[in-house]
Chain A
Amino acid sequence: MITVGIDVGSITTKAVLMNGSAWQSTLRPTGYSPRQAGREVLDELLDKAGLAQADIDYIIATGYGRITLDFADKAMTEITCHARGAHHLAPGADLVIDIGGQDSKVIFTDGYGNVTDFSMNDKCAAGTGRFLQVMAAAMGVDVSELAELARGMEPVQISSMCTVFAESEVISLLAEGVERGRIIAGIHRSVANRVVAMAERIGKGELIAFTGGVAKNEGVKEYLAKALGREIVVSPESQLAGAFGAAIIAREKLLKAR
């Protein structure tokens, strides 16, 4: 049984192909056309696996571009898919923190990958991957360098959560001569605190999985762990959690239909 999960995020499109317990993945920037990005990751996967589209038994699309993929058998929300994917990557996780390009979410699960409750950020980019991108650009660095530059730095207070206002705040801090690493540490802390506030409204998880692109940022992860007072699991495949979840749910659906 071969299934595919495609997670069309606002910045990155991810796909996972599952064939029994074996899996393959691919990812690429979403760019301006979510539909094309979805098509391309599928073709790439088929290429890698030496398969034709007809060999795929079920495709589930998720992420903000999920509805544009007309070749998918079903679209499901990233909330449901991330919960299931996180369970696969960090078995037993009952709190999933997913920070993506334009959304941040906290998802509580029953410990088996089923959503019990969730919360999502407002419609603005505060505390998301996009927020980090804008701040990185304001400081003239790449988003992937942020964690390294902030390592061991005492965070400066960043008060504004609005992306545009925070950018002005960062620029003012730079103008005052505040060290860049301290500003970045402050940004990491403010992103983490925002998500923590969202999580603590709903409950307390025992085992926390951190997924989405921002999970790659060690700085944010550290402040999250500190504020929540618990260890946080970040799997090497955490960015693929949504795509994994989609492929797994597709598999479960087929198994159930048998």
Chain B
Amino acid sequence: MRPESMNIFDDLRGQNMVVLENAKQSGRKVVGMYCAYCPQELVLAAGAIPVSLCGTKDEPIADAEKVLPRNICPLIKSSFGFAITGKCPYFYFSDFVIGETTCDGKKKMFELLGQHKPMHVMHLPQGADRPGALPWWKEELSLLKERLEETLGVTISDDSLREAIKLSNSEQLAIKELHDLNKFDPAPLSGLDLLTATFMKGFNVNKLEGIALVNKLIGEVKEVIEQGGSPFQPDTPRILLTGCPVGIGSEKLIRLLEENGGSVVCFESCSGYKTLDMLVDEDERRDPLEAIAERSLKIPCSCMTPNEGRLDLLGRMIGEYRVDGVVDLTWQACHTYNVEAELVRGYVKDNFDIPCLHLETDYSSSDLQQLKTRVTAFIELLDKRWT
């Protein structure tokens, strides 16, 4: 049985567009972002609405390829295509766009995108283990703060930042609680539903309403658990999905895994658990910018070197979610995740002795059959009910 609230989540993206348009008309400012490193706390503190910009569908890629090289990742091409064709309403409504240097393709793409919207690119350090990394990143946050104040004509006070931190933290805690419910076996939520509910965060205009909705869903999922319900049969292989971020439109791998006998119980990606697992320190005596900087530098993204935090998180999740196998997804031409796949594979094999499948694909359906063979074979290998 599917929780009733999921129907609301299904339609949310479209509905929020109307809410956003109304908010715009009443004078609210909108700030578009692409990445987990982008501090939504600063946007909230500026009294603006933070939104995630579209970039998870195949549809606008052909348009992007008129400008961008073909052999870069689908996420960059999709984001750019959505923006230049006006097909992403969130980009269209944005007064300001924040980019970040998480990869070479993205940072150069942002230079082209800057021709379409006022934009600011945050410069990330290459890793978090150098003494200069935190001061550098904090400095980048104050630079962004200045740009936001200047562009939106507002002042961001420490108090408003502290309030925004609390709001963001509570949103994150709610989504994390939802994820954690999938530690039950069999999982009460399908991977696809978990993704749909999590994805809401990026385009939810009213944060409090969004949090309330997630809490409502949590209540329903708890009922599902109490009644022993699940979209899966007992003993369905439990799979952890890691690697590049997945969104609505690029969920083909989750579909394939679940349609062919698996249960995607959790996501270790920046669209999933990777960013849910740590909060910004709410200590009132601290400089709020430093607290935000500290938190986001802990995100174990493959753009960082070294990135041991990802392996630690993977290990914890493998244990806590009691997964039978790990699937590591790389979007084509995402070099950092592609190379890191070798570390993930070794780590999973050496420490947990469970199978790990690395797949490289894009948003298109051109390789569905080949992917299906790999995915099905992987599930046949995990499925104790058969062998």
- What B residues does A114 contact at CB under 8 A? 381, 387
Cα of A118 to Cα of B345 in the assembled complex, Å? 12
- Interface check A55, CB cutoff 8 A: no
Per the bound structure, the CA–CA distance linking A76 and B387 in Å amounts to 12
Asked if A80 meets B373 with Cβ closer than 8 Å, knowing A116-B355, A117-B355, the reply is: no
Q: Which residues from A are CB-within-8-Å of B24?
A: none
Q: Is B367 an interface residue (CB 8 A)?
A: yes
A111 → B minimal CB distance (Å): 14
Is A115 interfacial (CB-CB < 8 Å)? Answer: yes
Q: Please, which residue of chain A has its CB at the minimum distance from the CB of B367?
A: A123
CB-contact partner of A79 in B355, B377, B386, B387, under 8 A: B377
* A118 contact set on B, CB distance < 8 A: 374, 377, 381
Evaluate contact between B355 and A120: CB separation under 8 angstroms.
no
Q: Hey, what's the 0/1 contact readout for B368-387 against A, CB within 8 Å counting as 1?
A: 01100110110011000011
A120 and B373 contact, CB distance less than 8 A = yes
Interface residues contributed by chain B, number (CB under 8 Å): 13
- Asked whether A123 lies within 8 Å of B366 as measured between CB atoms, the reply is yes
Q: Which residues of chain B are within 8 angstroms of A78 by Cβ–Cβ distance?
A: 373, 377
Contact partners of A253 in chain B: CB under 8 A: 386
Taken residue by residue from 117 to 156, chain A's Cβ proximity to chain B (1 for < 8 Å, 0 otherwise) reads as 1101001000000000000000000000000000000000
Residue contact A64 to B387, C-beta cutoff 8 Å: no
* B-side contacts of A115, CB under 8 Å: 377, 380-381
How far is the CB of A162 from the nearest CB of chain B, in Å? 14
Do B374 and A64 have beta carbons less than 8 Å apart?
A: no
Cβ-based interface call for A26 (8 A): no
Q: With A123-B366, A123-B367 given, is the CB distance from A116 to B373 under 8 Å?
A: no
Is A160's CB within 8 Å of the partner chain B? Answer: no
**Contact of B367 with A116 in the complex, beta carbons under 8 Å:** no
Per-residue CB contact flags for chain A residues 97-127 toward chain B (1 = under 8 Å, else 0) read: 0000001000000000011111010010000
Q: Which of B338-387 contact A (CB under 8 A)?
A: 355, 366-367, 369-370, 373-374, 376-377, 380-381, 386-387
Determine the chain B residues whose CB is within 8 A of the CB of A79 once the complex forms: 373-374, 377, 380
- Assembly CA distance A80 to B370 (angstroms): 15
Whole-angstrom CA separation of A67 from B387 in the bound complex? 20
Which A residue's beta carbon lies closest to that of B381? Answer: A115
Q: How many residues of A contact B (CB 8 A)?
A: 15
| CA A69 to CA B377, docked complex, whole Å | 18
CB distance from B360 to the nearest CB of A (A): 8
Contact string, A54-93, partner B, CB cutoff 8 A, digits 1/0? 0000000000100000000000111110000000000000
Partner among B355, B367, B376, B387 whose Cβ is within 8 Å of the Cβ of A77: B376
Q: In whole angstroms, what is the CA distance A51 to B376 when docked?
A: 32
For the complex, what is the distance from the CA of A76 to the CA of B386, rounded to whole Å? 11
Give the shortest distance, in Å, between A252 (CB) and chain B (any CB).
8
Residues of chain A lying within 8 A (CB to CB) of residue B380: 76-77, 79-80, 115
User: Chain A 243-254, CB within 8 Å of chain B: the 1/0 string?
Assistant: 000000000010
Say yes or no: B370 contacts A77, CB within 8 Å. Answer: no
Residues of A within 8 A of B386 (CB): 253
**Residue ID in chain B nearest A74 by CB atoms:** B386
- CB of A77 within 8 A of CB of B377, answer yes
When distances are taken between beta carbons in the complex, the residues of chain A under 8 Å from B381 are 80, 114-116, 118
A123 to B367, CA, bound (A): 6
Contact in complex: A80, B367 (CB < 8 Å): no
- Bound complex: CA A120 to CA B376 (Å): 13
**Residues of the B chain whose Cβ atoms lie less than 8 Å from the Cβ of A116:** 355, 381
User: In the bound complex, what is the Cα–Cα distance between A114 and B380 (angstroms)?
Assistant: 10
In Å, the complex CA distance between A114 and B386 comes to 11
Q: By the criterion CB–CB under 8 Å, are B370 and A123 in contact? A: yes
In the complex, A152 Cα to B227 Cα: how many Å? 71
Residues of B within 8 A of A (CB): 355, 366-367, 369-370, 373-374, 376-377, 380-381, 386-387
- Listed by A's residue number, 28 A-B pairs whose Cβ atoms lie within 8 Å are A64-B369, A76-B380, A77-B373, A77-B377, A77-B380, A78-B373, A78-B377, A79-B373, A79-B374, A79-B377, A79-B380, A80-B377, A80-B381, A103-B370, A103-B373, A114-B381, A114-B387, A115-B380, A115-B381, A116-B355, A117-B355, A118-B374, A118-B377, A118-B381, A120-B373, A120-B374, A123-B370, A253-B386
Q: Which 10 A-B pairs have the closest CB atoms?
A: A79-B377, A77-B377, A123-B367, A80-B380, A115-B381, A77-B376, A123-B370, A77-B373, A120-B374, A80-B377
Please name 16 further chain A to chain B contacts, defined as beta carbons within 8 Å, in addition to the given A79-B377, A116-B381, A120-B374, sorted by A numbering: A77-B373, A77-B376, A77-B380, A78-B373, A78-B377, A79-B374, A79-B380, A80-B380, A103-B370, A115-B380, A116-B355, A117-B355, A118-B377, A123-B366, A123-B367, A253-B386
